[in-house]
């Protein structure tokens, strides 16, 4: 089997999981190198990973794939290094948001729109975590009944903000239990035993909404290839270590029953139906953590609109929301003979 040389920009939470998942999924890996802010050797699950500093496009010569993981000073790195890497023949898979809406760049969830990878220019964008988790169940329902309007409320884990945010929740929880003062640095308010209805900065294009909320709408329309879908969202940070959850209220153009939706979702790759309200079987972020599939449940009719359904989903924001999806893009490109 052909092996592929892989490099990665950033070795924070997402970068570390990319390394783990490359091994776990038995990716046909040749050489693996990490580019970060300083040279060193990192141990990931007891195995060494070489860390270098990228100096320009020449650093990416000889690599088949470059995952831009968006951490350790690498946020926005695709702006300075991405296209240079692409021009020397390395296929960039970017977890950042700099080029997601660029018409040159496929925005891909392989189970949904793998055809978008055809004709790529060695640069592919990974969607935002909340977008990927929502669309895994939604795309199959969209094919059946066509989404007219989506109302989405997210419950997003602190791991989405990186390792420092996870430590902040841990430290605040310990301080609260000990009756000590609670300090916050990563978030604008205490996150332990609290929720914060602000993720990202305020949008310049859509006043009153945050950048995270705007991303969800724009990326959904691009991935599904339908600019007519109306989308409104509220994105909320919650005191959960890992795993994003979302309440989805969907209005369709065509009739669809909860029973038909459940039947479709049970046959949808990458989705696991956990829906037994009578026995308290519902999706949870804890269950979704380190699970390849997105969990979907609470499948029910929305009686307030014609052709309406309501769902609740949970997914691993570091896996399917970032690292796993990026690797699946590379796997799909190999499968399709695009690399």
Catalytic machinery residues: 129, 244
Q: How far apart are CA 308 and CA 114, in angstroms?
A: 28
Reading the block at residue 109, the tokens are: 């969830």
Nearest CA-CA partner of 242 in 189, 291, 199, 307: 291
Reading the block at residue 279, the tokens are: 């026995």
The residue whose two tokens read 């890992």 is 242
C-beta separation of 48 from 41 below 8 A: yes
Alpha helices, DSSP H only, in the chain? Answer: 13-24, 77, 83-87, 110-113, 129-145, 163-178, 211-224, 258-266, 285-288, 324-335
Reading the block at residue 163, the tokens are: 């390792």
Reading the block at residue 64, the tokens are: 């088949």
Neighbour tally for 337: CB within 10 Å: 6
C-beta separation of 276 from 298 below 8 A: no
Nearest CA-CA partner of 84 in 7, 175, 166: 7
C-beta separation of 150 from 229 below 8 A: yes
Reading the block at residue 141, the tokens are: 């329902």
SS3 assignment, position 4: strand
Q: How far apart are CA 117 and CA 202, in angstroms?
A: 32
Nearest CA-CA partner of 158 in 312, 327, 324, 13: 13
């Amino acid at each position: 089997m052909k092996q592929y040389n892989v490099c990665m920009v950033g070795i924070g939470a997402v970068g570390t999981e990319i390394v783990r998942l490359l091994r776990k999924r038995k990716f046909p890996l040749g050489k693996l190198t990490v580019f970060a802010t300083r040279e060193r050797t990192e141990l990931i699950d007891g195995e060494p990973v070489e860390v270098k500093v990228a100096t320009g496009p020449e650093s990416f010569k000889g690599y088949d794939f470059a995952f831009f993981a968006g951490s350790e000073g690498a946020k926005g790195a695709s702006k300075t290094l991405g296209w240079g890497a692409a021009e020397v023949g390395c296929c960039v898979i970017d977890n950042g948001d700099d080029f997601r809406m660029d018409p040159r760049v496929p925005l891909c969830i392989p189970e949904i729109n793998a055809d978008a990878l055809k004709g790529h220019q060695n640069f592919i964008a990974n969607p935002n975590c909340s977008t990927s988790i929502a669309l895994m169940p939604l795309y199959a329902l969209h094919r059946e009944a066509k989404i007219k309007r989506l109302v989405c409320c997210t419950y997003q884990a602190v791991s989405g903000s990186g390792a420092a945010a996870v430590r902040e929740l841990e430290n605040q929880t310990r301080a609260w239990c000990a009756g000590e003062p609670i300090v916050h640095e990563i978030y604008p308010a205490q996150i332990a035993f609290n929720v914060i209805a602000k993720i990202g900065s305020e949008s310049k294009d859509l006043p009153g909404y945050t950048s995270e909320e705007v991303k969800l709408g724009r990326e959904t329309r691009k991935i599904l290839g339908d600019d007519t879908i109306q989308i409104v969202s509220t994105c909320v940070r919650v005191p959960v270590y890992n795993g994003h959850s979302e309440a989805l209220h969907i209005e369709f153009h065509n009739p669809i029953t909860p029973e038909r939706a459940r039947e479709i979702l049970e046959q949808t790759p990458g989705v696991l139906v956990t829906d037994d309200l009578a026995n308290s079987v519902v999706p949870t972020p804890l269950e979704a953590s380190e699970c390849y599939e997105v969990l979907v449940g609470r499948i029910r009719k929305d009686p307030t609109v014609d052709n309406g359904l309501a769902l609740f989903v949970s997914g691993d924001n570091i896996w399917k929301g970032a690292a796993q999806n990026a690797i699946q893009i590379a796997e799909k490109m190999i499968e399709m003979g695009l690399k």
